[in-house]
Amino acid sequence: MEAAIQVQDVKKSFDGKDFVLKGLSLEVPKESLTAIIGFSGTGKSVLLKHILGLYQPTYGKVKVLGTDLSTLDPNELTKFRCNFGVLFQSAALFDDMSVLENVSFPLIEHRRSLSPGQVKEIAERKLQMVGLDPKHFHKLPSQISGGMQKRTGLARALALDPEILVYDEPTTGLDPILTEMVDNLILETHKNNKGTTSIMVSHDLQAAFRIADFVAMLDAGQVLLFGKPEDFYKSEIELVKRFVSKGMKHA
């Protein structure tokens, strides 16, 4: 199975003493939807930032689509990030731009040959793809609901047709109904965009096991278990058992 992302024995320390990632290795299969789970503070976000090239590993290597990120200079790295679409927990919309302008922004930045009309057309198509009603297109982010903000953020992440979609805790802090909506949106988006690899950090086990093809559980800066959802129910590892049963109780 070909890997979209290879994290090879990555160790990361911010202060030179304590390591947050302690020799973490992970291969995310191409075109899969992979969930990364684990208790809070185990380094999930730090791992994502390594994959996005925002942090450099202290030791070890990160390869994305076959490219070793450490071989890129800062400008090349900036360009390379166009391969990613990222949905932030807070949606991170530009609050001084309308919904449509938010989705148009990456297109204006990176597809300079497109005419304003073409940009608008693509942006509107992406917004419709994530199910946002056209009557909201010209509103500011502050004027729409949290769910619609998430949809807009996803449309913006999809604007450049990225190879890899990244979600960091997309449902944390949302109510159960919205959580389910966002999870379904992630699953549909993954299915509708053939060829994309999706990575989702979550501490919602139910959702992770329901929608993901593969799950990686992190503990103390290492991958404790990587496998298909059913591998987790069968696992004999004490921590996995505890985590799985906790998750079940929540549901």
Partner 1 sequence: MVTAVRNFVSEIGSMVVFMTSSLRLLMSPPNRWSEILKHMEFIGNKSVGIISLTSLFTGLALSLQIYLGFKIINAVNLVGPTVALGVTRELGPVLTGLIVAARAGGAMAARLGTMRVNEQIDALDVMGVNTRQYLIGPRIFAAVICMPLLTAVFDFVAMVGSYILVVFLIELDQAIFLEKIRQTVQVKHIMEGLFKSAVFGLVFGLVCTYRGFYTTGGAKGVGEATNQGVVTSMVLVIILDYFLTNLIRLFYLALGIQ
Q: Supply the minimum distance, in Å, between the C-beta of residue 221 and Mg ion.
A: 13
d(CA 80, CA 74): 10
Q: Supply the minimum distance, in Å, between the C-beta of residue 152 and partner 1.
A: 12
Q: Which phi and psi (to 5°) does residue 77 adopt?
A: -65, -45
Q: Residues touching ligand ADP: how many (CB under 6 A)?
A: 10
Residue numbers 162-191 binding partner 1 by CB under 8 A? 166
Residue numbers 167-226 binding ligand ADP by CB under 6 A? none
Beta bridge partners of 11: 22, 59
Residue numbers 39-68 binding partner 1 by CB under 8 A? 52, 54
SS3 178: helix
Burial degree of 237 (CB within 10 A; 0-12, 13-18, 19+) = middle
Sort strands 197-201 and 214-219 into parallel, antiparallel or unpaired. unpaired
Which residue from 90, 3, 14, 92 is spatially nearest to 51, judged by alpha carbons? 3
Q: Which does 3 bind (CB under 5 to 8 A by kind): partner 1, ligand ADP, Mg ion, none?
A: none
Q: Supply the minimum distance, in Å, between the C-beta of residue 37 and ligand ADP.
A: 9
Q: Residues touching partner 1: how many (CB under 8 A)?
A: 23
- In the complex, the residues that contact ligand ADP under the rule CB under 6 A are 14, 20, 38, 40-46
- In the complex, the residues that contact partner 1 under the rule CB under 8 A are 52, 54, 75, 78-82, 84, 86, 88-90, 92-95, 105-106, 109-110, 112, 166
